[in-house]
Amino acid sequence: MVLLLFYFFCFLIVVSAFLMLLTRHILYAAFLLLLTFLGIAALYALVGADFLAVSQVVIYVGGVLVLLLFGIMLTHQPVGGQPSAAPQTESRNLWWGALTGIGFFALLAQVIYKADFTSKAWIVSAESQKRLLNNSSIPHLGANLMTHYLLPFEIIAILLLVALVGATLLASRKS
Amino acid sequence: MLSLVFFLLFIPLFALAGVYAERKVSAFIQDRLGPMEVGRYGLLQTLADIIKLLLKEDIIPSLADKRLFKLAPLIIFVAVFAGFAAIPLTPTLIGSGLQVGVFFILAIVSLDVVGIMMAGWSSNSKYPLLGAMRAVAQIISYEIPTGLAILAVVMICQTLDLQSISYQQGIWINHYQHLEADQNYLFGLKPLGIDITLVGGFLTWNIVRMPFLSIAFVIYFIASLAECNRAPFDIPEAESELIGGYHTEYSGLRWAFIMLAEYGMMLLVSFLGVILFLGSWNTPLPNLGYLALADWTSGKPDTLWGQLTSIFWLFSKTFLLIFAQMWIRWTYPRLRIDQLMYLCWKVLVPFALAIVLLCGVWRLWMV
Amino acid sequence: MNPQISAFGMAFLFILGGIVLVLLGLAVASLLRPHRPNVEKLAAYECGEEALGSVWGQFNGRYYVIALIFVLFEVELVFLFPWATVFGQKELIEITEGRWGWFSLVEVWLFIGILVLGLAYIWAKGHLEWLKPQPQDTDYQSKIPAKAYERINRTYQKNKT
């Protein structure tokens, strides 16, 4: 059952990602991204990462996607009142584009194929902690944030501060 | 599974009753009679309305983006409906025992936002687009004070599981896993030494366990009004300037599902408010010596009596909150958008942050 | 299997249930409702007037800034939730003789404090101010004197009490 659902959501992610690339309609692409995000959240849920699954929806769907949509709506000035005008670019390097894409795909496929995931230290340690797999991951996450990853935790706060200041500065410059 | 079937039937019924109640409440507040024609006291009015909506032509404007226009009501409704999965109805009945319950409901609100955006954009008309932009800006802004108020409760209860939060606020606290040895003290303070684990009632509700949570509850309640786009935060669908906001172009049953989602959202945030702050399905009456009011008015969690009483208390408290929502809608004028942003970012967020800081200290006094 | 996965499965069933309810309702309605479109009906709504101009007017750039601020605070919230479930756990506090609670609390105060700096910055820079309506004075003189309104108000006040 879980395996079946896994393949279903994988299919959903891949198809929606492909359609997102193929559609010429920028808002369709944004809404297809929603489907991709939800599919990824479902995959997180399937491996038992409950907090991560919900965070994925909260941050990516509720935050990043809305930001994207606002960005599109504020900048997208369609021709002749029709909002569905496709984005046009000056330069179209079909061959180079295809070559780069295929090359990058080959590289990634190579890496994934060759990597030996089962003997990675963090996977082994996660496998050994069955306690994690039998319940929610949240207390574990919280405890780790406060102990092993304390410095990154505080640095994230500074990173968020910098992002906040920088983003508002950039957004307000033009007006 | 039972919970799913229950909500599938209950939410449409609630919307029917809710619309009728809204019209009657507004009528009485304005010294009118409200619907009186269909059925006794107009009781069948909303039933007639839903039949009318079923028979209405489904108009899809020629300029609209047909696919997204049809999809948007589905996303809006399903997002809200999925939120009920995390709501505990009785001590043993809950849709899905998610450990991340509260957080899951926050995610649901995010999904709702995308549906609203889709509805507003695909209509390709001025009012819906403007309404959608306002709705989204308002909902995401008020999600921050909501989230902080919820965080304060999570800090006091030390869990995201709504069922565990419910058990902690009553006399059956020791009947839930991991809470077997827990005790409730007056105002949550162990140093005071007044053990009220078996007294229960409103004394163990979160707003009394940590008195500052009552301020958090007010923040939550105000923000939840904004999350449902209800007056005085209804500028996204301000009738006098925007017709109907993001659902101006919708008609027939598609419009009905958007309204259903709005009433569903009211119900969802009221449920959540009751569960987080007002003792969930626990009785408000405490045990006072020989007057064991709490024992009399709430049965053991796994008995039929326990199920019935907990449903009764949860729903009566929720309906009271919904009545308060309606009361406020027909009492206060609409806020301007600058006042809206002022209230959210300069009043609610700083207060909520202060309460989060306070709750941290309080929790450490509690153990 | 992890019980949390089946809990998510149940949430998924709620989603499916919602979809079925909507589709069922629309299917029933499509059997009952008429379908007689005409040009007028399908035009965009505009209070009975012909719609003029593009839908895509000028939107206020502040919407974008608000969304940006929201995303950053949302990320903050996501980091605080796991912490909130552990910082006051009895066992952890007892193991560390009370240090765990205060230590993690102070750490989070620092975390929140840094972000409050950000809030203070955008507050001071005026990014939280929305455009206020500017009331404009006109030289229009009403023929009804202000006294008339005052008299009406007085009568109503008297009737009320």
Residue A60 forms part of a structural domain = yes
| pLDDT, tens digit, 9 for 90 and up, residues B120-134 | 888 878 788 888 888
CATH number at residue A65: 1.20.120.1200
Taking 50 as the pLDDT cut, the residues of chain A under it are 79-85, 175
**Any idea which of A158-162, C7-11, C96-100 has the lowest mean pLDDT?**
C96-100
Closest chain B C-alpha to C67 CA, distance in angstroms: 7
> What are the residue ranges spanned by the domains of chain C?
10-51+59-124
| pLDDT, tens digit, 9 for 90 and up, residues A77-102 | 554 444 444 555 666 778 888 899 99
- CATH architecture of the domain with residue range C10-51+59-124: Up-down Bundle (1.20)
- Cβ-Cβ contacts under 8 Å, C34 against chain B: 55, 57
The pair of structure tokens assigned to B47 is: 């039933």
**Quick check: A5 contacting B, CB < 8 Å?**
no
The number of C-alpha atoms within 13 Å of A174 and in the hemisphere containing its C-beta is 9
Residue A41 forms part of a structural domain = yes
**Between B202 and C59, whose confidence is greater?**
B202
B289 vs B23, B32, B170, B172, CA distance in Å? 44, 47, 17, 18
At B336 the pLDDT is 81
> What are the residue ranges spanned by the domains of chain B?
1-55, 59-366
At C58 the pLDDT is 63
Closest chain A C-alpha to C30 CA, distance in angstroms: 26
Contact between B110 and A34 using a beta-carbon 8 Å cutoff: no
Look up the pTM and report it. Answer: 0.88
**Any idea which of A123-137, B95-109, B184-198 has the lowest mean pLDDT?**
A123-137
The pair of structure tokens assigned to A131 is: 């306690």
Q: Which domain holds residue A1?
A: 1-76
Mean pLDDT of B214-220: 92
Contact between C18 and B82 using a beta-carbon 8 Å cutoff: yes
**Which phi and psi angles does A62 have, rounded to 5°?**
-75, -30
**Angle value at C-alpha B88, between B86 and B89, nearest 5 degrees:** 135
Of C81, C93, C129, the CB nearest to B103: C81
**Quick check: A70 contacting B, CB < 8 Å?**
yes
CA dihedral B205, B210, B212, B213 (to 10 degrees): -40
**Any idea which of A38-47, B67-76, B90-99 has the lowest mean pLDDT?**
B90-99
Say which DSSP state A60 is in: I
Q: With 80 as the cut, is the pLDDT of residue C130 above it?
A: no
At C56 the pLDDT is 65
Spacing of C-alpha B38 from chain mean position = 30
Residue A101 forms part of a structural domain = no
Mean pLDDT of C129-138: 76
At A133 the pLDDT is 52
Spacing of C-alpha A78 from chain mean position = 28
Contact call for residues A57 and B98 (beta carbons, < 8 A): no
| pLDDT, tens digit, 9 for 90 and up, residues B19-28 | 999 889 989 9
Contact call for residues B252 and B68 (beta carbons, < 8 A): no
At A134 the pLDDT is 56
**Quick check: A50 contacting B, CB < 8 Å?**
yes
Closest CA to B118 of B157, B161, B66: B66
At A79 the pLDDT is 46
Residue of B nearest to C78 (CA): B103
Residue A85 forms part of a structural domain = no
Mean pLDDT of B223-231: 86
**Quick check: A126 contacting C, CB < 8 Å?**
no
Cα distance between residue B295 and residue B186, in whole Å: 19
Mean of all residue pLDDT scores within chain B = 86
Cα distance between residue A21 and residue B362, in whole Å: 51
| pLDDT, tens digit, 9 for 90 and up, residues B311-335 | 899 999 999 999 999 999 888 888 8
Contact between A57 and B118 using a beta-carbon 8 Å cutoff: no
Cα distance between residue B220 and residue B63, in whole Å: 39
**Number of structural domains found in chain A:** 1
Q: With 80 as the cut, is the pLDDT of residue C66 above it?
A: yes
At A81 the pLDDT is 44
At A77 the pLDDT is 59
Residue of B nearest to A57 (CA): B107
Of B106, B129, B140, the CB nearest to A66: B140
Tell me which range, A160-164, B177-181, C31-35, is most confidently predicted by mean pLDDT: A160-164
Q: With 70 as the cut, is the pLDDT of residue B77 above it?
A: yes
